């Protein structure tokens, strides 16, 4: 008895690799899920930094000159 293969990879796998629009869509869905959980009282705080960390571009540090 084998399982049917999934049509799409799991959301976490899409977040790590895939087309940019799929990655962004997966992060938006994850953020909405966490927001619903927060509003329903299932979680106490919303870890926004963790949710959006991969979407925002990294800031480059300027070299310090003396």
Residue bearing the bigger pLDDT, 54 or 38: 38
Instruction: Based on DSSP, count helices (H) and strands (E) in the chain, helices before strands.
Output: 3, 0
For the chain, the domain total comes to 1
Q: Is 62 among the domain residues?
A: no
Cα dihedral 3, 7, 9, 11 sign: negative
Q: Give me the domain span that covers residue 45.
A: 11-52
Range with the poorest average pLDDT among 9-13, 26-30, 48-52, 60-64: 48-52
Q: Is 57 among the domain residues?
A: no
Q: Is 66 among the domain residues?
A: no
Distance CA 15, CA 24 (A): 8
| Separation of CA 7 from chain center | 20
pTM above 0.85, yes or no: no
Closest CA to 55 of 19, 12, 24: 24
Does 34 have pLDDT greater than 70?
yes
């Amino acid at each position: 008895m084998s399982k049917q293969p999934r049509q799409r990879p799991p959301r976490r796998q899409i977040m790590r690799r895939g087309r940019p629009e799929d990655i962004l869509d997966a992060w938006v869905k994850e953020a909405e899920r966490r927001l619903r959980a927060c509003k329903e009282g299932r979680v106490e705080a919303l870890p926004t930094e963790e949710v959006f960390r991969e979407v925002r571009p990294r800031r480059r540090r300027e070299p310090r000159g003396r």
